[in-house]
Amino acid sequence: MDQSVALISEAKSAVQDPNTPNKQLRLAQAAKAVSQALNQVVNCLPGQIEFDHAIKAIAEASRKLQSGKVSNCTLNDVWNDYEYHCELLMTLGMLIGHEFEMGRLVL
């Protein structure tokens, strides 16, 4: 929240006095701080890394299945990997939903 307040303050300052030295640099730094803070929040969510990994694995398996070109493994292996990661993604979603319902996770 502090980074957001700083960004708003810098934006107001830039509007009120357009001749402020380094206004663009200060705005860019404040915006970057907000972005970094948001990334930290997202990375703290339970299962976020697992979600990201599962989504990437599903996308890769999907590309392989659609292209029909599979190297170093069988089409069945790719399909099994795809199904595994889909199930993992569903399980993680249910766990996060449960934590949210129990009030242990606030979004």
Structure token pair of residue 99: 């934590």
Rounded to two decimals, what is the model's pTM? 0.43
Averaged confidence pLDDT in the chain: 76
Write the burial class of residue 95 (CB in 10 Å: 0-12 exposed, 13-18 middle, 19+ buried).
middle
Cα–Cα distance, 50 to 56 (Å, whole number) = 10
pLDDT in tens, 40-49: 766 666 667 7
Low-confidence ranges of the chain (pLDDT < 70): 1, 41-47, 65, 70, 104-107
Pairwise CA distance, residues 76 & 82, whole Å: 10
Q: Where are the alpha helices (DSSP H) in 17-74?
A: 23-44, 48-67
